[in-house]
Amino acid sequence: MQIRDLSIALGLPAPAGESGEISGVASLVDAGPKHLAALFNGRYRAAAESTRAGAVLVTAALAHHVPPTSIPLVTETARALWLRAIRCLHPERALAIPPVGRHPSAVIDADAQVHPAAHIGPLCVIEAGAQIGRGAILHGGVFVGIDAQIGDEVELLPHTVVLDACEIGAGTRVGPSAVIGGPGFAMDAEGPVPHLGRVRVGAAVTIGANACVDRGLVGDTVIGDGAHLDNLVQIGHGAVIGPGAIICGQAGVAGSAGLEAGVVVGGQAGIADHVRVAGGVRIAAQSGVTRDLEKAGDYSGHPAEPNRGRLQRMARLKRLVDP
Residue 260 and residue 173 share a domain: yes
Decide if 183 is inside a domain: yes
* Residue 93 reports pLDDT greater than 70: no
Count of H helices and E strands in the chain?
A: 4, 37
- Domain at 220, CATH number: 2.160.10.10
Catalytic choice (103, 237, 274, 302): 237
Q: Closest by alpha carbon to 144, among 155, 136, 132?
A: 132
Residue 159 a catalytic site member: no
Residue 166 and residue 77 share a domain: no
Query: What is the phi/psi pair of residue 132, to 5°?
Result: -120, 120
Mean pLDDT of 268-289: 97
User: How many domains are there within the chain?
Assistant: 2
| Span 10-38, pLDDT tens digits | 999 888 776 789 999 999 999 999 999 99
Residues 88-104: b if buried by 16+ CB within 10 A, e if exposed: bbeeeeeeeeeeeebee
Which residues form the domain of 238?
A: 160-308
- Domain at 42, CATH number: 3.40.1390.10
Domain boundary among 28, 55, 89: 89
Residue 265 and residue 169 share a domain: yes
Decide if 113 is inside a domain: no
Residue 301 and residue 164 share a domain: yes
Between 212 and 193, the higher pLDDT residue: 212
| Span 107-119, pLDDT tens digits | 999 999 999 999 9
